[in-house]
């Protein structure tokens, strides 16, 4: 019996032990299933996280090109230096000491980067070729070089505020780089930094090829040649007048394309570190200002459209002083009786205010809004401001008067250029834009700008106003001293007092001097607005901004392939700008331009020059000069020019130093390579 019980108890214990073992085995099988199957991916990721790190790589950024395909911004492969701190942590001080001179970095900064509990750390990104070579020559274990794309701007400061720049991680920061960042930057990629838990074979395959994720190319409307000429002329003008700043924008009036856009101070986007601190910005879109007399064009246009006035009406300018309520309005000089055309040509504040009174505040307000003031143009650039137009409810008699001649209202340079483009384009407003199309890596067009336009005023009225603007540039007009040999042009001067931020009243010594116009007058191809902020000494728009306009347009028209519209001896027929009958000013030879004028008894205007009467002249060396520079030199020495081609002088006849008696010099031009 006892033996039976003992044997039975042994069997029970065996069964229990077997059951326990079987249960444990099943648990092990289940756990293995969980680890190897159900949670394998999660656990694998956790394990890899202990010894692997994904390095996010910026792709090769797409190019920015001008309208002719010239590169304005591009990317190149350069070396970046990284390390495996875990592999070299014990030797970090020595390695930092060696790397400091090679990378031009502080030894302590390098030690901090190397004293981290990680398998990957950037030491210096996008180094120079000399720095990369110096690091490779050291042959330090755990320190490596890999290729990364780096943004560069081959034309240095050219178009800097318009282009903006891209940061170290290939993200757009300002300008076109920011506006079109989603197209330019492409797709980011990531590669594993290590292959084992010890960190050996760090980035054995390198950082990889970013080409498949490269960004799109952006083709702009900018003309690199005109941009260069505009920037140089604006910089010279700002420096000559010791001005605070300057801004200019050139448009194609037929479609709203921006041909050039310049701001001073400017910057080199290759070195943008202190740009914001120095006040660098794209002032064409970011800086509204009180435009002054350039606004008179639209006040008068609205009055003509409503038939409140007529072009032949006569106006009395009150001998330079006119009171409206508590305010007294002044003209720059006393003006007598004038026609409507002469109100604009002579730029009378008083008579413009009288026109606005007859026009009425509602019509004036409506006209300003129609021409695009008080709202952003919608250009494809960041940071655009709207400017300010008072509501009708806040336009009393004084405000209506001052707004009519450009005070108490603000506009951006781009708004002014766009509004004048509307007049030049037969009364049709075009949306300004800087980009024509975006193209991917295989040449497919991903985006293409579509012309957006709408009529503002009747074409016949626009033609009438265009003729009035031509009168501004003729005898008796405020821009009579400006000239474009071979071309008619239209324009308007602006000389606006600025508000003193301390007194909140108009300053007596701070001015915004501007000029805006278009050429050729009969078929405009380019509109250019120029403003110089706070010039010292003279402050009249015709004398400060006008010469900048003249220099740029004289060069741009031949560059754009626009043939001269007038022979040098052909006169320009415009409505007279004086009640006394005055013959139109003849366009004269190069040696006659800028000479003092003499008026005959019959009212004809002829230019004279003592230098032209001189006998023999020595022919200067024109080689390498642009069109405007060559014309200027020819004027000074009293030579006529026969011009072929455009761009820069590559040949001349007769040659430099030849003696020639008051006749012709032939110049051959060629575009820059």
Q: What is the DSSP string of 1-57?
A: -HHHHHHHHHHHHHHHHHHHHHHHHHHHHHHHHIIIIITHHHHHHHHHHHH--EEEE
- Torsion angle of the four alpha carbons 245, 489, 474, 347, in this order, in degrees rounded to the nearest 10: -50
Residue 171 pLDDT class (50, 70, 90 cuts): confident
Q: Is 528 exposed, middle or buried (0-12, 13-18, 19+ CB in 10 A)?
A: buried
Q: Report yes or no: 280 and 267 within 8 Å, Cβ to Cβ.
A: yes
525 or 49, greater pLDDT: 525
Out of 75, 254, 263, 293, pick the active-site residue. Answer: 293
Q: Report yes or no: 251 and 257 within 8 Å, Cβ to Cβ.
A: yes
Residue 604 pLDDT class (50, 70, 90 cuts): very low
What is the pLDDT, as a whole number, of residue 603?
A: 29
Q: Report yes or no: 447 and 399 within 8 Å, Cβ to Cβ.
A: no
- Own/partner pairs for 96-101, CB < 8 Å, 24+ apart? 98/138, 98/140, 99/123, 99/135, 99/138, 99/140, 99/143, 101/134
Integer Cα distance of 651 and 272 in angstroms:
40
Q: What is the pTM of this model?
A: 0.73
Residue 183 pLDDT class (50, 70, 90 cuts): very high
Integer Cα distance of 400 and 408 in angstroms:
9
Alpha helices by DSSP H, listed for 34-166, are 40-51, 85-88, 92-103, 107-114, 129-138, 160-163
**Residue 503 token pair:** 């007194």
Q: What is the pLDDT of residues 394-407, one digit of tens each?
A: 999 999 999 999 99
Question: Average of pLDDT values for 39-61?
Answer: 62
Quote the percentage of the chain above a pLDDT of 90. Answer: 54
Does residue 53 have a pLDDT over 80? Answer: no
Range with the largest mean pLDDT of 84-88, 204-208, 358-362: 358-362
What is the pLDDT, as a whole number, of residue 4?
A: 61
The per-residue DSSP string of 429-442 comes to: EE--BSEEEEE-TT
Integer Cα distance of 548 and 514 in angstroms:
10
* Domain coordinates in residue numbering, the chain: 2-38, 54-158+197-220, 224-266+284-559, 597-670
CATH code for residues 224-266+284-559:
3.40.710.10
Instruction: Tell me the CATH class for 54-158+197-220.
Output: alpha beta
Does residue 298 have a pLDDT over 50? Answer: yes
Q: Is 19 exposed, middle or buried (0-12, 13-18, 19+ CB in 10 A)?
A: exposed
**Residue 92 token pair:** 């970090």
Does residue 580 have a pLDDT over 50? Answer: no
Question: Average of pLDDT values for 429-445?
Answer: 94
Residue 116 pLDDT class (50, 70, 90 cuts): confident
Q: Is 672 exposed, middle or buried (0-12, 13-18, 19+ CB in 10 A)?
A: exposed
Cα radius of gyration (the chain) = 36
459 or 610, greater pLDDT: 459
Q: How many CA atoms lie within 13 A of 121 on its CB side?
A: 22
What is the pLDDT, as a whole number, of residue 610?
A: 34
Does residue 456 have a pLDDT over 70? Answer: yes
Integer Cα distance of 172 and 547 in angstroms:
36
**What is the DSSP pairing of strand 121-124 with strand 71-83?**
antiparallel
Quote the percentage of the chain above a pLDDT of 70. Answer: 80
Integer Cα distance of 116 and 95 in angstroms:
14
Integer Cα distance of 578 and 40 in angstroms:
94
CATH code for residues 597-670:
3.30.10.20
Calculate the average pLDDT of the chain. Answer: 83
Q: Report yes or no: 533 and 243 within 8 Å, Cβ to Cβ.
A: yes
Does residue 423 have a pLDDT over 50? Answer: yes
673 is catalytic: no
Give, in order, the Cα–Cα distances in Å from 554 to each of 489, 557, 672.
10, 6, 17
Q: What is the pLDDT of residues 267-281, one digit of tens each?
A: 999 988 888 888 899
Q: How many CA atoms lie within 13 A of 227 on its CB side?
A: 27
329 or 36, greater pLDDT: 329
Does residue 200 have a pLDDT over 50? Answer: no
The per-residue DSSP string of 167-221 comes to: -TTS-B-SHHHHHTHHHHS---EEEES-SSTT--STTTTTT---GGGPPPEEEES
Residue 157 pLDDT class (50, 70, 90 cuts): very high
Does residue 609 have a pLDDT over 50? Answer: no
Fold matches, 54-158+197-220 and 597-670: no
Q: Is 134 helix (H, G, I), strand (E, B) or coil?
A: helix
Give, in order, the Cα–Cα distances in Å from 199 to each of 119, 139, 147, 206.
6, 18, 20, 14
In sequence order, the 6+-apart residues with CB closer than 8 A to the CB of 444 are none
455 or 627, greater pLDDT: 455
């Amino acid at each position: 019996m006892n033996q039976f019980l003992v044997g039975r108890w042994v069997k029970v214990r065996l069964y229990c032990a077997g059951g326990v073992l079987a249960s444990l085995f099943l648990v092990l099988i289940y756990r293995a299933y969980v680890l190897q199957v159900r949670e394998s991916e999660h656990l694998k990721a956790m394990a890899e996280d202990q010894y692997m790190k994904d390095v996010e790589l910026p792709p090769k950024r797409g190019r920015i090109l001008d309208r002719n395909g010239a590169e304005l911004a591009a990317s190149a492969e350069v070396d970046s230096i990284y390390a495996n701190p875990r592999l070299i942590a014990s030797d970090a001080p020595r390695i930092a000491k060696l790397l400091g001179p090679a990378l031009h970095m502080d030894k302590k900064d390098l030690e901090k980067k190397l004293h981290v509990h990680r398998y990957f750390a950037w030491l210096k990104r996008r180094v120079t070729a000399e720095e990369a070579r110096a690091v490779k020559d050291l042959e330090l274990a755990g320190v490596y070089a890999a290729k990364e794309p780096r943004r560069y701007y081959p034309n240095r400061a050219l178009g800097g505020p318009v282009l903006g720049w891209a940061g170290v991680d290939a993200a757009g920061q300002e300008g076109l780089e920011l506006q079109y960042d989603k197209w330019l930057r492409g797709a980011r990629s990531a590669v594993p930094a290590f292959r084992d838990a010890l960190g050996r074979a760090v980035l054995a395959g390198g950082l990889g090829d970013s080409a498949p994720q490269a960004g799109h190319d952006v083709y702009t409307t900018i003309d690199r040649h005109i941009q260069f000429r505009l920037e140089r002329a604006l910089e010279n003008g700002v420096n000559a007048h010791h001005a605070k700043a300057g801004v200019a924008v050139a448009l194609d009036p037929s479609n709203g394309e921006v041909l050039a856009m310049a701001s001073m101070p400017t910057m080199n986007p290759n070195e943008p570190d202190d740009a914001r601190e120095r006040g660098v910005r794209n002032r064409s879109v970011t800086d509204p200002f009180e435009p002054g007399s350039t606004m008179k064009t639209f006040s008068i246009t609205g009055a003509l459209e409503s038939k409140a006035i007529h072009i032949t009406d006569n106006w009395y300018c009150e001998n330079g002083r006119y009171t409206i309520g508590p305010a007294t309005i002044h003209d720059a000089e006393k003006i007598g009786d004038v026609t409507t055309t002469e109100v604009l040509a002579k730029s009378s504040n008083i008579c413009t205010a009288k026109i606005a009174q007859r026009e009425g505040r509602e019509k004036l307000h409506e006209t300003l809004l129609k021409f695009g003031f008080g709202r952003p143009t919608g250009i494809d650039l960041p940071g655009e401001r709207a400017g300010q137009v008072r509501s009708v409810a806040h336009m009393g008699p004084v405000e209506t008067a001052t707004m009519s001649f450009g005070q108490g209202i603000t506009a951006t340079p781009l708004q002014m250029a766009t509004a004048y483009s509307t007049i030049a384009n037969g009364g049709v407003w075009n949306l300004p834009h800087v980009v024509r199309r975006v193209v991917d890596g295989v040449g497919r067009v991903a985006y293409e700008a579509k012309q957006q336009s709408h009529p503002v005023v009747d074409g016949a009225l626009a033609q009438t106003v265009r003729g009035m603007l031509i009168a501004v540039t003729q005898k008796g007009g405020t821009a009579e001293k400006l000239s474009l040999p071979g071309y008619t042009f239209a324009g308007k001067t602006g000389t606006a007092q600025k508000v003193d931020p301390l007194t909140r009243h108009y300053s007596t010594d701070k001015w915004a001097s501007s000029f805006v116009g278009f050429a050729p007058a009969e078929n405009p191809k380019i509109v250019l607005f120029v403003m110089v902020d706070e010039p010292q000494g003279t402050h009249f728009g015709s004398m400060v901004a006008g010469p900048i306009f003249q220099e740029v347009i004289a060069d741009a028209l031949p560059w754009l392939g626009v043939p001269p519209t007038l022979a040098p001896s052909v006169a320009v027929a415009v409505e007279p700008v004086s009640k006394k009958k005055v013959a139109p000013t003849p366009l004269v030879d190069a040696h006659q331009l800028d000479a003092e004028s003499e008026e005959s008894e019959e009212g004809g205007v002829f230019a004279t020059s003592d230098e032209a009467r001189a006998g023999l002249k020595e022919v200067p060396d024109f080689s390498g000069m642009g069109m405007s520079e060559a014309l200027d030199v020819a004027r000074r020495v009293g030579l006529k020019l026969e011009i072929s081609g455009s761009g820069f002088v590559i040949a001349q006849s007769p040659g430099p130093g030849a003696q020639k008696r008051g006749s012709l010099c032939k110049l051959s031009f060629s575009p820059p390579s």
